[in-house]
Structure 1
Amino acid sequence: MSPLTDRGHLLTEQANPASHSLDRLSSLELVDLFNQEDQRLLVAIAGAREDLALALDRTAAALAQGGRLFYVGAGTSGRLGVLDAAECPPTFCTPPELVQAIIAGGEGALVRSSEGLEDRRDDGAAAVADRHISALDVVVGITAGGTTPYVHGALAEAQTRGATTIFMACVPRDQVPVTVDVDIRLLVGPEILAGSTRLKAGTVTKLALNILSTGTMVKLGKVYGNRMVDVAVTNTKLEDRALRILGDLTALEREAAKDLLERSGRSVKLALLMHWSGLDRETAQGVLTEHHGQLRVALGVAGDGA
Structure 2
Amino acid sequence: MNWAPVNMRWPEQSTAWMDQMNDAKEMAGANLLSTAQRLSSLDGLATTDPSAIGGIVKDVVANGRAALDAQFSESPKCLVVTPFQSGVGQGTGYQRFLSAPGVLQRLAEKLDDGTDAARPDGEQYALVLLFLGTNFGLLASVLSKFNALLPIADLQRAERRARNLVQLEAEKWQIPISGMQPAWSELPLQSCTVVKTATQSFNGQLAMMESYAADSSPLSDLAELAQRKAQQSVDQDEKLSALKELLSGGTDEPTMQARLIGPGDTSELRKQLLEGDNAPGHEWVQSAGVILVGSLQGLSFVRELVGL
Same fold (TM over 0.5): no
Q: Which has the higher contact order (CA 8 A, sep 6+)?
A: 2
Structure 1 length normalisation: TM-score?
0.21
| Larger Rg belongs to | 2
In the superposition, the TM-score normalised over structure 2's length comes to 0.21
Structure (1 or 2) with the greater strand fraction? 2
